[in-house]
Amino acid sequence: MKKHFMKGCEAIAEAALRAGCTFFAGYPITPQNEIPEYMSKKMPEYGGVFVQGESEVASVNMVFGAAATGARAMTSSSGPGISLKSEGISYIAGSKLPAVIVSVMRGGPGLGSIMPAQQDYLQATKASGHGGFRMIVFAPSTIQEAVDYTHKAFDYADRDRNPVMILVDGCLGAMMEPVVLPEYHDHCNKKEDWVLDGCLNREPRTVLSVSLTGEPQEQFNIEMAKLYESWAEKDTEVELYEMDDAEIVLASYVTSARIAKTAVDMLREEGIKAGLVRPITLYPFPSAAFENLDYKRVRHVLDVEMSIPAQMVDDVRLGVLGRAQVSTFGRSGGVIIGVEEIVREVKRIAEEGGF
């Protein structure tokens, strides 16, 4: 199959277009600027609409409106911008509308650093908006995966009538790799019975994100809770690498997982039985991958993130449930973890633990 050598952000944008995305609204922020830039150039070729909003708040609400008309709609940003979009994302979820949100992480907190980091895990999985809604959050670690999961995200959003997030870091957004692009999917002719497209020859439809009485809102929340539970059963994805006999398990995602995988290979060459658990869905989190470890063999779990303090480690600990020691190792603020640093940390753990 034909391969294209593409930058991560641009590959994500192209995958969205090929998934039938016909509306994009966004606002510039490093390190995701190549996504709206690519969309501004390519969207007209696909018969779609690109808007650079006057702010993040305006952009996400434009996506809200476009999604209500049945358009496959997307926005992208980084941590500070996602914070500004969070109210609109909450409204999209509360109105049961599909949309795709891409977050390309930078350093933080506050305005932070424009350099790559992984400090928005909690934002993506625990605090993407108010009201307790959930989103499926994909965390690809290669550009090919970024293409595949971006394309898939639109189908999942449509299936559930719920926003879906693609979470990557600035490293993946900026690097270049060969990718196979999916075929173009024409979504424009698909009509849904909830779309607001004028009420000629039919009863009017209403999309609401507010309930003025408690009971209808509670029923909505009950239905959404059932949806979230179904994700855990059928949509959780995880990669297990060199786990058959692992005694020290690394837990990592996106760019740090790429580096951790190389560290596992180096440690194996030196006789240390290391393995890697890489969550692909950060929500639903693959807790079972940690719950089902053989704790007669696994004696230590090392959470590796480009975040200080570590964030994913809370979910890792819930999966381990105290059956092995859990520690963290990371860099922060735009400092990328080195393979040798991980190797040294694992060797220290092995020496102190006597294995």
- The rounded distance, in Å, linking the Cα atoms of 20 and 242 is 37
Per residue of the chain (355 residues), give pLDDT as tens: 899 999 999 999 999 999 999 999 999 999 999 999 999 999 999 999 999 999 999 999 999 999 999 999 999 999 999 999 999 999 999 999 999 999 999 999 999 999 999 999 999 999 999 999 999 999 999 999 999 999 999 999 999 999 999 999 999 999 999 999 999 987 766 678 899 988 888 888 888 887 777 778 899 999 999 999 999 999 999 999 999 999 999 999 999 999 999 999 999 999 999 999 999 999 999 999 999 999 999 999 999 999 999 999 999 999 999 999 999 999 999 999 999 999 999 999 999 887 7
Domains annotated for the chain, with CATH where assigned, are 4-201+208-234 (3.40.50.970), 238-353 (3.40.50.920)
